Amino acid sequence: MSPLWSAQMIAFFLISLFILACAVMMLSFRKVVYMALAVGGVFIGCAALYILLGAEFVGIAQVVVYAGAITILILFAIMLTNHEATEPEEPWTVRKALAAVGCFLLGVTLLFVIRGQAWPQGDPSVDVNQGMSNTLAIGEALFKSYMIPFELVSLLLTVALVGAVILAQQRKGDQ
């Protein structure tokens, strides 16, 4: 069986198609709630890709955090504020057409650069995790090599949380 038609390859194409379809739907929907659901689809598709690549921990975390928590959070935010909101149809302008051309050119450039390059091939006989399971290796990296950025992320989350409270509080005071 040629490598192009192995089961993994077919799964990859199907998942990619699903992700792209969800992303396009997210952009083309006019109702905010549908957009949030489409984003959820993108997240689930990405999780499937991660699992296909053998990164099961990242895949599950993706489902739990993004597809679960974040999509639901977005939905809650929409329901609590203005769930009837729809985006108005916008006509095509010269500016939008130019932006589309620019995006297309950027995409083509990226594609050519990526396809035109012989990428480094990993050696399948070397175990990058040194015998540990994926989850264990991630934990080791996170709490040993990446200790400092890990602690800084907690600082970042504090700032984001406090910032969100400040902005929301003032919005309430304004009304």
Residues that bind another protein (CB under 8 A): 109-110, 113-114, 116-117, 119-120, 144-149, 152-153, 155-156, 158-160, 162-163, 166-167, 170, 173-174
**Rounded to whole angstroms, how far apart are CA atoms 162 and 154?**
12
**Rounded to whole angstroms, how far apart are CA atoms 43 and 20?**
11
CB 25 within 8 A of CB 65: no
**Rounded to whole angstroms, how far apart are CA atoms 46 and 143?**
25
In the bound state with another protein, the residue whose beta carbon lies nearer, of 94 and 113, is 113
In the bound state with another protein, the residue whose beta carbon lies nearer, of 76 and 143, is 143
| Residue 168: CB minimum distance to another protein, A | 11
| Residue 2: CB minimum distance to another protein, A | 25
Q: Is 86 helix (H, G, I), strand (E, B) or coil?
A: strand
**C-alpha pair distances (Å), 165 with each of 4, 155, 169:** 51, 15, 6
| Residue 146: CB minimum distance to another protein, A | 6
In the bound state with another protein, the residue whose beta carbon lies nearer, of 2 and 117, is 117
Q: Which two tokens stand for residue 113?
A: 């650069």
**Which residues in 56-66 are b (16+ Cβ under 10 Å) and which e?**
ebbbeebbeeb
In the bound state with another protein, the residue whose beta carbon lies nearer, of 17 and 110, is 110
Angle of the 7-28 helix axis to the 32-52 helix axis, nearest 10: 160
| Residue 148: CB minimum distance to another protein, A | 5
| Residue 91: CB minimum distance to another protein, A | 22
In the bound state with another protein, the residue whose beta carbon lies nearer, of 64 and 153, is 153
